[in-house]
Structure 1
Amino acid sequence: MSQPKLIPDHFDFVATVPQWQRIEGSTQLAREFIFKDFKGAFQFMTLSANFAEEINHHPDWSNTWNKVSVRLSTHSMKTLTELDIAMACAMDRFALQV
């Protein structure tokens, strides 16, 4: 399996993943998703988990009732890569579906 592509230095995070925060001093993107209830949060996590398996890139996340806190990073490369952006964009889409 080939290594994912690094994100270029000039990459515009705000334009591409505006609801995500780049954690200062780290190689992570973070976002908290809030849903109507636990069922919505779980549906979101199921969609996200299936996509994560497809691209073999898994989020660090936690769930408390209607909230899902997510951190993305490509741990094997110790930086953010195209996989993190793909996962963030997919999760944004999935959040709108539930």
Structure 2
Amino acid sequence: MGKLTKENIEKKLLKYPDWEYFDDAIHAEFEFENFKDCFSAMSRIAFECEALNHHPNWSNVYNVLSISLNTHDVGGVTEKDFKLAAAIEHIVEPEE
């Protein structure tokens, strides 16, 4: 899996307005109603990470989850990161 160019990344990010590209990774921050809801989302995300065998750099402070995705093997962002970002978006965004 090859590293995506900055132009490809920025084009793909148009579908993910909560995400930004810097420091060779894509980053997002999600705020929840409370700690329990945030931790619940993290648990669901963890199952997706295991299924994709791709794991984020993330942190949680009370009701805020900060996530950074990149593919360490290539030193940048790949399709694998966008696949996980899509799964994360599906988990954290409310269904309409």
TM-score, normalised to structure 2, is: 0.86
CA contact (8 A) 2:25 2:76 kept: yes
**CA RMSD, 1 decimal:** 1.8
Q: Equivalences for 1:13-28 in 2 at 5 Å? A: 13-23=12-22, 26-28=23-25
Aligned in 2, Cα 1:61/1:9: closer, same or farther, shift over 3 Å? closer
- Deviation, structure 1 residue 9: 5.6
Partner-residue secondary structure (3-state), 2:46: helix
Partner-residue secondary structure (3-state), 1:47: helix
Partner-residue secondary structure (3-state), 2:60: strand
Structure 1 alignment gaps of length 5 or more? none
Structure 2 alignment gaps of length 5 or more? none
Give the Cα–Cα distance (whole angstroms) in 2 for the partners of residues 58 and 97 of structure 1: 23
- Deviation, structure 1 residue 10: 4.4
2:70 aligned with 1:73: yes
Give the Cα–Cα distance (whole angstroms) in 2 for the partners of residues 8 and 88 of structure 1: 17
Q: For each residue in 1:41-81, what CA deviation from the matched residue of structure 2 results, as whole angstroms up to 9, or x when unmatched?
A: 01110111000000100000001110001110001110100
Give the % identical residues.
30
